[in-house]
């Protein structure tokens, strides 16, 4: 991970998790999350949509529409890809690190699974951080996803387990087939880096 906030967010998640596979949404004590509180968000993973149920002030300052519909903060099909990555994190119990850009702004987005009343696949904890610590604050235009790395399944290691990157030389997959490939492969390791293509056709 590139940013201190995301690394600290992962360490806090591991601390809250203890000996369980995942922490519960009820474990998110604002006092313990204080270092990342303004940069954190919580997603609700419903069958028909992914929506934000908690959004920090720094996230809203950078991405105002994130609090209403997270996918609206991304360009075109990248919003659909973000929703799919969030679903994978919730369903597979894996973590992910997304790099998204808009002009000179580069953001690192950490996604980590949460249970809801001990049921899995329902919530995702996230942290948003500027890759450039000297970046000017303020609203940014819709983001393009550059890459997504899935963390080791036990989430004890920072090194990536599976990666997906945009590739300007391989625009073969349409948004629909790309989304299907992501859903069927992520966490199951059926999609190789060579097969991953652009998020936009």
Q: What's 180's domain CATH number?
A: 3.30.450
Range of 139's domain?
4-185
- Report pLDDT for 166: 52
> Could you read off the pLDDT of 62-101 as tens digits, one per residue?
999 998 889 999 998 899 999 999 999 998 888 999 999 9
pTM: 0.78
- Report pLDDT for 153: 56
> Within a domain: residue 9?
yes
Determine the length of the chain.
Answer: 201
**CB neighbourhood size of 155 (10 A):** 19
> Within a domain: residue 196?
no
For residues 173 and 128, the answer to whether their CB atoms sit within 8 Å is no
> Within a domain: residue 81?
yes
- Report pLDDT for 155: 55
> Within a domain: residue 200?
no
> Within a domain: residue 193?
no
Distance, CA of 148 to CA of 109 (rounded, Å): 9
- Report pLDDT for 173: 32
Distance, CA of 122 to CA of 76 (rounded, Å): 25
Which residues make Cβ contacts (< 8 Å) with residue 34, sequence separation at least 6? none
- Report pLDDT for 13: 92
The ranges of the chain with pLDDT < 50 are 154, 156-162, 167-201
- Report pLDDT for 159: 39
CA distances from 194 to 135, 186, 197 (A): 32, 14, 8
- Report pLDDT for 165: 54
> Within a domain: residue 190?
no
Q: How does DSSP assign the chain, residue by residue?
A: ---HHHHHHHHHHHHHHTTSSS-BGGG--TTTTGGGGGGEEEEEE-SS-EEEEEE-HHHHHH-GGGGT-GGGGB-HHHHHHHHHHHHHHHHHT--EEEEEEETTEEEEEEEEEEEETTEEEEEEEEEEEESSTTPPPS--PPBEEEEEEEEPTTS---SEEEEEE--TT---S-HHHHHHHHHHHTTTT---TTT---S--
Q: How many domains does the chain have?
A: 1
> Within a domain: residue 57?
yes
> Within a domain: residue 111?
yes
């Amino acid at each position: 991970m590139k940013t201190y906030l995301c690394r600290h967010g992962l360490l806090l998640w591991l601390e809250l998790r203890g000996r369980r596979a995942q922490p519960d949404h009820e474990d998110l004590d604002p006092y313990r999350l204080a270092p990342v509180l303004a940069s954190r968000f919580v997603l609700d993973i419903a069958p028909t949509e992914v929506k934000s149920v908690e959004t920090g002030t720094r996230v809203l300052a950078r991405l105002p529409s994130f609090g209403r519909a997270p996918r609206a903060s991304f360009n075109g099909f990248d919003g659909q890809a973000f929703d799919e990555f969030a679903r994978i994190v919730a369903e597979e119990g894996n973590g992910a690190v997304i790099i998204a850009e808009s002009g000179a702004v580069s953001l690192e987005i950490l996604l980590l699974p949460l249970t809801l009343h001990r049921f899995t696949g329902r919530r995702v904890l996230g942290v948003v951080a500027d890759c450039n610590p000297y970046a000017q604050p303020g609203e940014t235009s819709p983001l393009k996803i550059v890459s997504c790395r899935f963390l080791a399944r036990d989430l004890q290691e920072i090194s990536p387990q599976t990666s997906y990157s945009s590739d300007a030389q391989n625009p073969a997959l349409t948004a629909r087939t790309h989304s299907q490939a992501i859903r069927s492969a992520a966490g199951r390791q059926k999609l190789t880096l060579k097969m991953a293509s652009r998020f936009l056709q």
